[in-house]
Amino acid sequence: MGCLISTMDDKESKNSRWSKLHTDLLVLVLKKLCFQDIIRFKAVCSSWNKAAQSYISSPSYSLHQAPCLMRQTHHKDGSFPHTLFSFTEKKIYILRDDITRVDSESCIGSSHGWMMILRKSNIPVVVKNPFSLQRFKLPTVENLQITLYIDTAILLSDPFRSKNSNLSVVVVLYGGYKRLAFCNVAGEAWTQFFEARNGDEIVKSIQSHNGQLYVLSRDFCVQVWDFNHDPFPTKTRNLKPSPLLFIGHYPAYKYIRLAYLIESMGELLVVLRIVYYKLNHTKTVNFHVIKLDFKGEKWEKVENLQGRALLVGCPSISVSIKEFPEFEDNSIYFLDDNYNLSIGDMGVYNMGNKSIKPFDELDKLQETTSPKPSFWIVPNPW
């Protein structure tokens, strides 16, 4: 970026000291700003722009950013842009409308700030940054017995902040939630590494944590896969906790149980979302939270989130209320994230009084329905 500092007269040279504030001090200020303010900070002057760039590239950046809600909605003028809702600022931002191709592409979630976009082609997954539009070209699937239908896709780490960006791994769940395959972001081919052998092993949720893959199966067993050793991942843990406690009476013909695996403060949690399901009408009616005990031997009920809120979806994120007071304590935030089954409601569940309500200040957002799933994203403004 070019930088032309024009000559200044006495008054301005006295008053422009702020533009010369040392980068380290500017970064201390940046750490206290939300994502949207950082974007505006970047546009103030060239030295502030450099400081913001340096801060954004640092590993500590994403630790202080609150997740936002992203979805695609029909705009008055007929376009179909992605919108970003910030809980911090309580504002909706309309992003550009060319992030995905409407007819052939669909974003099913985000991973480390990157959009995971599915498309109907022999390159079925695109990893894209919604702000810079930078994308990673992933391999074709010719070597896999892959149906063109992928259930979900995640990144195990941020390609720009990994020690070796070429090793950043993409994992896809496909074949009716039965198979897992992976590739490196700069790789040549996809490789299948898991296939469910029976109904119990069908995958309910996958999550990344510390660069590893966590897999929850229908029988509530948990696998942990490590991808650091070429060429094939290794299963480092295979937890088979004793069968789940009785959670509640939800007959399968009326209710769907969605499960979200989520790591929070060193604990492995599963959020169960109970959805009452009729053909033209779905409604989220209840939540249960369970955690794996320290030894990984059994699931225990969690009654209170103690200073946290859980944002479930793709991805599921645990937030500390102390760090992000814009979220409500002891609550679960859920979205219309499951468009396969037309689960279209969003809101907040309070674990204390077991009530569900719509998001505050989000009337505009909830008026519009979206044919594509909504998701959480920790903005990464490359």
Partner 1 sequence: MSYGRKITLKSSDGETFEVDEAVGSESQTIKHMIEDDCADNAIPLPNVTSKMLSKVIEYCKKHVETPKPDDNDELKAWDADFVKVDQATLFDIILAANYLNINSLLDLTCQTVADMIKDKTPEEIRKTFHIKNDFTPEAEEEVRKENQWAFE
Using CB under 8 A, list all residues that contact partner 1: 1-6, 8, 12, 15-19, 21-22, 25, 28-29, 31-34, 36-37, 39-46, 48-49, 84, 89, 93-96, 131-132, 381
Query: Do β-strands 234-239 and 91-94 pair in parallel, antiparallel, or remain unpaired?
Result: unpaired
Angle between helices 35-42 and 46-56 (to 10 degrees): 140
Report the residue number, 47 or 316, with the smaller CB distance to partner 1.
47
Q: Smallest Cα–Cα separation from 261: which of 331, 210, 186, 204? A: 204
Report the residue number, 6 or 280, with the smaller CB distance to partner 1.
6
Amino acid at 300: E
Could you tell me the smallest distance in angstroms from the CB atom of residue 98 to partner 1? 13
Going by the DSSP 8-state scheme, the letter that residue 167 receives in this structure is: G
Would you give the distance in Å from CA 178 to the centre of its chain? 22
Could you tell me the smallest distance in angstroms from the CB atom of residue 34 to partner 1? 8
Could you tell me the smallest distance in angstroms from the CB atom of residue 16 to partner 1? 5
> What backbone phi and psi angles, to 5 degrees, belong to 363?
-55, -40
Encoding tokens for residue 8?
A: 């200044």
Could you tell me the smallest distance in angstroms from the CB atom of residue 21 to partner 1? 7
| Collapsed DSSP state (helix, strand, coil) of residue 20 | helix
Could you tell me the smallest distance in angstroms from the CB atom of residue 9 to partner 1? 10
Report the residue number, 37 or 300, with the smaller CB distance to partner 1.
37
Report the residue number, 132 or 147, with the smaller CB distance to partner 1.
132
Q: Round to whole Å and give the CA distance between 352 and 358.
A: 16
Euclidean distance between the first and final Cα of the chain, in Å? 14
C-alpha angle 224-226-227 in degrees, rounded to nearest 5: 145
Report the residue number, 82 or 179, with the smaller CB distance to partner 1.
82
Q: Smallest Cα–Cα separation from 338: which of 360, 306, 316? A: 316
Report the residue number, 43 or 279, with the smaller CB distance to partner 1.
43
In this structure, how many other beta carbons lie within 10 angstroms of the beta carbon of residue 284? Answer: 22
Could you tell me the smallest distance in angstroms from the CB atom of residue 337 to partner 1? 23
Report the residue number, 22 or 120, with the smaller CB distance to partner 1.
22
Q: Round to whole Å and give the CA distance between 316 and 270.
A: 10
DSSP string, 289-317: EEEE-TTSSBEEEE---SSEEEE-SSS-E
Could you tell me the smallest distance in angstroms from the CB atom of residue 115 to partner 1? 15
Encoding tokens for residue 92?
A: 């909706």
Could you tell me the smallest distance in angstroms from the CB atom of residue 13 to partner 1? 9
Report the residue number, 135 or 357, with the smaller CB distance to partner 1.
135
Could you tell me the smallest distance in angstroms from the CB atom of residue 14 to partner 1? 8
Report the residue number, 44 or 189, with the smaller CB distance to partner 1.
44
Q: Are 345 and 284 in contact (CB under 8 A)?
A: yes
